[in-house]
Amino acid sequence: MTRERDQYGRASNAERIGGLWEGFRANRTAQVVVAIALGVVLALRLVSPPVVRIPDLRAADCVYIRAGTPDIDPTGRQVGDEGAVRASLRAEGAELAACDMSHSHEVSAVFTVDDPTGAPYPGDAALLERELGRCLEVFGPFVGRALEDSIYHTFVVVPGEDGWLGGDRHGVCLIVLRNGRFMDGQARGSGT
């Protein structure tokens, strides 16, 4: 005796997919919903600036680093203080921005710290002090004006202890307006 289920062939995966496709083609509401969802996803991808990590930054990149606002930053610096910027850049990366649009910082140099992997962490303060010289050295040629006469300030971001112990040796020099406000032009070659 054969079971009823065994008397009929089962639809193949291709036939099942074909049936779903035909059902989708016949359902205008489903088509509209899918079109709207795809449009929203595409629009978000187009308007969301790319987020980059320190190793992917390049000199002359203009960036937005989420590190502070006047409402929550006690120093009143719109772009956040150096410590908040370092922590945010290490943890979250930065959004690339057009240099003629509002941005918080500009990259003047990206470098590799000379200490080999496995070297003991020298401490945050010592590492910052030691590597700041790289930023001071490139500032004048990058901006076109000596640091002490410029409207800009520079500082360095180096690996934190966790990153260091994980082998990270990437550093970056950032330029910011001395007044802590957002920039709307490029510092590179500005002569200011």
pLDDT digits (tens, 9 = 90+) for 163-174: 999 999 999 999
pLDDT tens-digit series, residues 114-126: 998 889 999 999 9
Residue 7 confidence (pLDDT) above 80: no
The overall average pLDDT reported for the chain is: 89
How confident is residue 76, by pLDDT bands cut at 50, 70 and 90? low
Neighbour order of strands in the sheet with 170-177: 51-52, 94-97, 62-64, 105-112, 170-177, 152-157
Q: Where are the domains of the chain?
A: 4-47, 51-177
**Residue 92: what are its φ and ψ, rounded to 5°?**
-115, -15
Dmax over CA atoms of the chain, in Å, equals 98
How confident is residue 33, by pLDDT bands cut at 50, 70 and 90? confident
Least confident of 32-41, 42-51, 96-105: 42-51
Work out the average pLDDT over 124-142: 97
pLDDT given at position 11 = 77
Short-list 60, 65, 73, 69, CA closest to 89: 65
Q: Which residue did the predictor score with more confidence, 60 or 1?
A: 60
